[in-house]
Amino acid sequence: MNRTDGLVRRVKARDTESNGGSSSSAANHADQEDNKVDKEDEMEDCDSKETRLTLMEEVLLLGLKDKEGYTSFWNDCISSGLRGCILIELGLRGRIELERAGMRRKGLCTRKIILKSDTPTGDVLLDEALKHIKETCPPETIQSWIEYLSGETWNPLKIRYQLKNVRERLAKNLVEKGVLTTEKQNFLLFDMTTHPLTDNVIKCRLVKKIQDAVLTKWVNDPQRIGKRMLALILLAHASDVLENAFAPLNDDDYELAMRRVRELLDLDFETESSKSNANEVIWAVFAAFTK
């Protein structure tokens, strides 16, 4: 099987006109960040033929019931969790960053998101969020953006920032990648579009990747865990879908996995974000979900 089978390729828009040194530099930096993210993905999946998924798609896939093709009706966390995924993806791809802490050393939750590059990512959801961030002045915090993108704000002027039908749009991406299929199910009073699993191999690899990260490949230093894997574990927890990855484990491994996840949740996110090579956006999103 070719690695690119069923894969929707990322299309990176590049400037064809000269817009000055600063915009060209920002675009080049964004391309470098995209390439770095691609290489990190390849290192994590170097022994598999896995279709490349975004953080949003991975979290949704964990939350979907395999045969039924929809998320639990009782899960009220996944909506905001997916918005956190979007912000971290933009941070990993070099599109956004946090404002400088300054002399008074502002906390992660009070620092604003700053646009680093407006170069399109090629992903519709990411680019939609990026456009909102670009157009917002003055800048807003991570917590505010999670609320705006989720539509959970009392400010009527911010309702336009809501990203609508995120789960359905992500599910359609997974259908295009050959992971899910589309069906109609009748629920007595209404019909609902569902997306049952069609490629169990992809989900099994995702589950095993998470299990291995907290069991066989565990390291005590979170800075040595891949940024995407660290984000996936904590965002899956924030979205209340991490349990689905650990459910197949035996009792001893389950307890060990959950204990190690709790160790990550108990970290001082402010301290971790100040370490060299840390991505502050990642830790700010974690702080927003655990405060």
Domains and CATH numbers, the chain: 53-180+190-290 (1.10.3630.10)
Query: DSSP E strands: which ranges in 167-223?
Result: 183-186, 191-194
SS3 (DSSP) at 55: helix
Residues in contact with 16: Cβ distance below 8 Å, sequence separation at least 6, in sequence order: none
Q: Measured between alpha carbons, how far is 18 from 24 in angstroms, rounded to an integer?
A: 7
Cβ atoms < 10 Å from Cβ of 50: 16
Closest CA to 11 of 126, 135, 131: 126
To 5 degrees, how large is the angle CA 60–CA 95–CA 271?
80
Q: What per-residue confidence (pLDDT) applies to 278?
A: 92
Averaged pLDDT score across all residues of the chain: 85
Q: Which residue has better confidence, 39 or 235? A: 235
Burial 252-269 (b: 16+ CB within 10 A, else e): eebebbbebbeebeeeeb
Per-residue pLDDT band for 156 (boundaries 50, 70, 90) equals confident
Query: DSSP E strands: which ranges in 79-129?
Result: 96-98, 113-115
Per-residue pLDDT band for 17 (boundaries 50, 70, 90) equals very low
Instruction: Give the pLDDT mean for 188-208.
Output: 89
Instruction: Give the pLDDT mean for 135-148.
Output: 94
Indicate if the pLDDT at residue 59 is higher than 70: yes
To 5 degrees, how large is the angle CA 60–CA 66–CA 67?
135
Q: Which residue has better confidence, 206 or 23? A: 206
